[in-house]
Amino acid sequence: MFYNNPLLVQLKQKLHNRATRVEGIIKSTEKGFGFLEVDSSISYFIPPYQMKRVMNGDRIIAKVKLEKNREIVEPEKLVEPFLKKFIGSFQKKHNKFFIIPDYPYLKIPIICSFSKDIVFSFEDGDWVIAELVQHKLRGEPCFQAEIIDFVSKKNNAFLPWIVTLKRHNLEINAPSMNNSDIEFNYDLTRKDLTSLEFVTIDNSSTKDIDDAIYIKKTKKNNFLVMVAIADPTSYISEDSKLDKIAFKRSFTNYLPGFNIPMLPRKLAEDICSLHPNVKKPVLVCEMEVDSHGNILKKSIVFFLGWIMSKAKLEYESVSNWLEKEGSWVPQSNLIRNQLLWLKELCCTRIQWRKKNALMFKDRLEFRFHFSEEKKIQKIVLEKRTIAHRIVEEVMIMANICAATILAKKIGYGIFNTHKGFDKKYTEQILCILKKNNIYYSEQEINSFDGFCKIKRMLDSCSNDYIENRICRFHTFSEVKNVPLPHFALGLKKYATWTSPIRKYGDMINHRLLKSIFLKKIVKKPSDKVISLMSNRKRRYKTAERDVIEWLYFLFFYSNNDMNTIYNMEIVNLTRSGIRGKLLDNGAPVFLPISFLNISKYDVICNKEEGIMYYRGKEIHRVSNFLKVKVSEFNKSTRSILVKPVLEKR
């Protein structure tokens, strides 16, 4: 009744004449209009004619106006452009040059010029790096960019990998080295273990083999375990050229069908790699584990050694033999005994961790299979086998031993930590638990023991919905230079050292562990080192996700299969639709609200509950499943759109 009230309209006009200004982020839509998001709950409409002056992601200051009795904003000042240095594809039209940014909702051609250093001859579709040099909101006549570097030809088989790595400013090649860059330290005393039956268990394609295991039973029927780890720090001195390269990269970057090593390949895959029947220098952790799975702390010792792996075993073959399947058999009775004892130890430790720590929940993992031309042939579910669990349990034990020694002897190192729940969400967590008749106190859920108790309870009740709602409030795992608990593992301290070929933090821990028994001082890792490694890890994870999504899009787009029915798990619910994951192959997909054949105006999406309601009735919730078919593809966002399959009655 007040909508068209003249007095109300007049009052609104007076208020807006005071020129209210707001600051926020531009969010564009495919229909031309957009919104200025001031915070999570306030946004203003931007009409299409005003959107032509800004880009998605720009941070701006805008004037709030009343137009046709509706609040809109008029962009006034650019605070920070979204596009600065960016990647995109080159295009030539009517003797003019353009670059199309590789970002969703930013697929408009931007006129471009060339840096004076650019001499490459570009063709339509080639990929380049550019810098934005003109922006309309700065009073300049148009958006304009300058091409500063070449990325890739449009028909490059490695295009998804190269473009993604370049976008995140990550290396695309392995580091190089000269023989003079390494010098092995022969002065250190090493124990000769070459006669022992050490074995390695890896994928068939693994070249950078960094761990070998030996096990035997003691007179007390305990397990005596030796974990031998490749020793690159005996070739790479601290602050040397290769050490600085490893520090900068921090990790080997593993992507589907492609990896970029932290160390030069000759070092990672040849010199340091624990290939069978070759004498190799190692750092060894020896420990004794009783029949209940307890690591006897007084038994833990680290030392330098020489080993000669007796066999490079593969996960699939070992698992098949232990499960009495397949034709493969161990090459000797000694190796046979190693595998049987390792399986026994693994089962014992799993039971120990169920009671005294926390277990990982198996997640579906998928492997892309490529042709030589890097075409995706198939996507296969990678099953976790008993052999995977054997190696995982032994490495966890070795890392617990490292954390124990580092914490006790020097009090610092590179420690993996996790704080449990984010305390600012305590009230929401308690509310979710209470709604499901689960009662804990604020003190309990924020304590180490309480977190573990809740996690074990959720694992036992197998309620994916509650777990999904609770997991949102976990903090992120962090790397620290002092020992702190790792709530998510259920361990009071944890420090990895078993992958020094692949992780710089493990190289640091090698040096620190050596310093203890060699009685040499190695300084505490600085906050700068911690910060750089954490930043690198985030960028690698983001790049991996982007490459995987691109590869899924290419696979589905090339197959163009609109008939196969898939099972989709609901991952997230939004006002615009349902984000899901196909259980058959792991592909991320999107089901638009318009495909549900219901009025979007009658839909309420409760993000806190993770439930979608239609006219007051629940219709979908996260962790539930839907049967879907591929419907169409959105090239600009590389999205796979699906539609629900109606079940026959």
Question: Domains plus CATH for the chain?
Answer: 6-80 (2.40.50.140), 85-155 (2.40.50.640), 179-353+362-417+484-546 (no CATH), 423-475 (no CATH), 560-644 (2.40.50.140)
CA angle (19 as vertex; 17, 20 as ends), nearest 5: 125
Q: Catalytic residue numbers?
A: 202, 208, 210-211, 315, 502
The tokens describing 615, both together, are 């006219």
Across the range 512-535, mean pLDDT stands at 94
pLDDT digits (tens, 9 = 90+) for 60-69: 999 998 887 7
Q: Is residue 522 within 8 Å of 515, Cβ to Cβ?
A: yes
Output phi, psi for 389, to 5 deg: -70, -35
State the pLDDT at residue 360: 79
pLDDT band at 220 (very low <50, low <70, confident <90, very high): very high
Q: Classify 573 as helix, strand or coil.
A: strand
- Ramachandran quadrant class, 12 (left: phi over 0; alpha: psi -120 to 50; beta: rest): alpha
pLDDT beyond 80 at 48: yes
- CA 608 to each of CA 58, 172, 467, 612: distance values in angstroms, whole numbers, following the listed order: 28, 40, 13, 11
Across the range 454-470, mean pLDDT stands at 87
Beta carbons within 8 Å of 548's beta carbon, 6+ residues apart: 256
Rg (CA), the chain: 29
pLDDT beyond 60 at 383: yes
Across the range 158-162, mean pLDDT stands at 96
Q: Is residue 75 within 8 Å of 62, Cβ to Cβ?
A: yes
Q: Is residue 111 within 8 Å of 159, Cβ to Cβ?
A: no
- CA 1 to each of CA 8, 9, 68, 395: distance values in angstroms, whole numbers, following the listed order: 11, 13, 17, 70
Average pLDDT of the chain, as a whole number = 92
pLDDT band at 608 (very low <50, low <70, confident <90, very high): confident
Across the range 597-607, mean pLDDT stands at 87
pLDDT beyond 80 at 9: no
pLDDT band at 141 (very low <50, low <70, confident <90, very high): very high
pLDDT beyond 90 at 337: yes
State the pLDDT at residue 577: 92
Output phi, psi for 643, to 5 deg: -130, 150
Beta carbons within 8 Å of 292's beta carbon, 6+ residues apart: 348, 352
CA angle (305 as vertex; 303, 307 as ends), nearest 5: 140
**Residue 537 CB-half CA count within 13 A:** 15
Task: Answer yes or no: pTM beyond 0.95.
Answer: no
Q: Is residue 387 within 8 Å of 322, Cβ to Cβ?
A: yes
- 108-122, 204-218, 255-269: which range is least confident on average? 108-122
- CA 454 to each of CA 379, 441, 610: distance values in angstroms, whole numbers, following the listed order: 35, 11, 20
State the pLDDT at residue 297: 94
State the pLDDT at residue 362: 78
State the pLDDT at residue 279: 97
- 106-110, 154-158, 557-561: which range is least confident on average? 106-110
State the pLDDT at residue 1: 41
Residue 543's H or E segment, with its range, is helix 527-559
